[in-house]
C-alpha cells in the first residue's frame, strides 16, 4: 500500500541512538553505527523519532510499504530486551539531589577551593539531545539557556538550574532552529513554567525567539520569563513572556 513512512539519511546520521529510544514500535535500530528502518510494518508513520534527531537525518517519504501491523508491534515489544545501543552520553536519566545541611567540601585552611554543589537534575542537557518523551520533563519547571550564560554568571547553578530541568544550546553555533524541538517538548509534557536565560549579545536572541515560538505553537499558555545576562556577569533585564 502507498503510505507515509520515515526515511533515514545515513550520511547525516551520527549514530547517537536517540531515534531508537523514541520509536516505541521498535521500527528503528542501529546497524554499523547508523540508524536504519528495520521493518516497514513496525513504522506507524507518526514520526516520534523526527524531533529527537540532532542532525536532521530523519524525514518522511510516501512510498509503497507494508501496512502498519499493531499486533506484531505489541508481540515484539513483549519479547524485546533492552537494547545496548546508542551513545551512552546521550541516554536520558534523572539525577536525584538530596539536600544536606552540612558540606563535606574542603575548608579554606587546607589550601583548596571549597567545592560548590551542582544543581543539575538530569542528563543530557543539550537541547538537540534531550528526548522529547524523557520522564523528567513531565511537570517540570524548564530552563532554556544559552550555554555561555553558565560561564558568565557566577551563581548560575543556585539561581537558575536549582529546581529546574536545564536545556542548553547556542543559536549561533548550532545548526537549525530549536523551535520545533521545544514545541514538541511543550506539547507532549505538562511543563509548569519556562525560564529563558540568554546573554545580552544579539546572536542570543535566537534562543529567546525559539522559546517564545514554542510556547505559542504548543498552545498551552505555559508561563515564562526571560532573564538577560551581561557579558560581565550581571542580570541586566528580566521580562515576563
- Interval 155-172: pLDDT, tens: 999 999 999 999 999 988
Helix (H, G, I), strand (E, B) or coil at 193: strand
Phi/psi of residue 4, nearest 5 degrees: -80, 135
Q: Give the pLDDT of residue 193.
A: 98
Give DSSP secondary structure letters for 21-84: HH-TT--EEEETTEEEE--GGG--SS-TTTTT-TT--EEEEEEE-PPP-HHHHHHHHHH-----
* Interior/surface letters 156-182, b for 16+ CB within 10 angstroms, e for the rest: bbeebbbebbbbbbbbeebeeebbebb
Across all residues in the chain, what is the average pLDDT? 87
Q: Give the pLDDT of residue 36.
A: 93
Per-residue pLDDT tens over the stretch 180-211: 999 999 998 999 999 999 999 999 999 999 99
Q: What is the distance between the alpha carbons of residues 149 and 168, in angstroms, rounded to a whole number?
A: 9
Which residue is listed with cell 534527531? 53
Provide block-wise average pLDDT over 10 residues at a time, the chain (241 residues).
92 88 88 89 90 90 92 79 52 69 49 79 90 88 96 96 96 86 92 97 94 95 97 96 89
Amino acid at each position: 500500500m502507498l503510505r507515509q513512512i520515515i526515511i533515514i539519511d545515513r550520511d547525516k546520521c551520527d549514530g547517537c541512538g536517540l531515534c531508537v529510544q523514541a520509536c516505541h514500535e521498535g521500527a528503528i535500530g542501529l546497524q554499523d553505527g547508523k540508524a536504519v528502518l528495520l521493518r516497514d510494518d513496525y513504522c506507524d508513520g507518526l514520526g516520534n523519532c523526527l524531533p529527537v534527531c540532532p542532525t536532521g537525518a530523519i524525514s518522511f517519504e510516501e512510498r509503497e510499504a507494508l501496512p502498519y501491523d499493531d499486533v506484531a508491534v505489541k508481540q515484539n515489544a513483549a519479547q524485546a530486551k533492552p537494547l545496548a545501543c546508542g551513545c551512552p552520553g546521550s541516554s536520558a536519566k534523572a539525577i536525584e539531589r538530596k539536600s544536606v545541611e552540612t558540606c563535606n567540601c574542603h575548608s579554606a585552611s587546607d589550601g583548596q577551593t571549597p567545592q560548590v554543589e551542582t544543581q543539575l537534575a538530569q542528563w543530557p542537557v543539550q537541547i538537540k539531545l534531550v528526548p522529547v518523551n524523557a520522564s523528567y520533563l513531565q511537570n517540570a519547571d524548564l530552563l532554556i539557556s544559552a550555554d555561555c550564560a553558565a560561564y558568565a554568571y557566577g551563581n548560575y547553578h543556585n539561581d537558575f538550574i536549582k529546581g529546574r530541568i536545564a536545556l542548553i544550546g547556542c543559536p549561533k553555533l548550532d545548526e537549525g532552529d530549536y523551535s520545533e524541538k521545544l514545541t514538541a517538548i511543550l506539547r507532549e509534557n505538562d511543563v509548569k513554567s519556562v525560564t529563558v536565560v540568554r546573554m545580552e549579545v544579539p546572536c542570543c536572541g535566537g534562543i529567546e525567539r525559539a522559546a517564545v515560538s514554542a510556547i505559542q505553537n504548543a498552545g498551552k499558555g505555559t508561563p515564562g520569563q526571560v532573564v538577560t545576562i551581561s557579558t560581565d556577569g550581571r542580570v541586566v533585564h528580566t521580562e515576563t513572556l
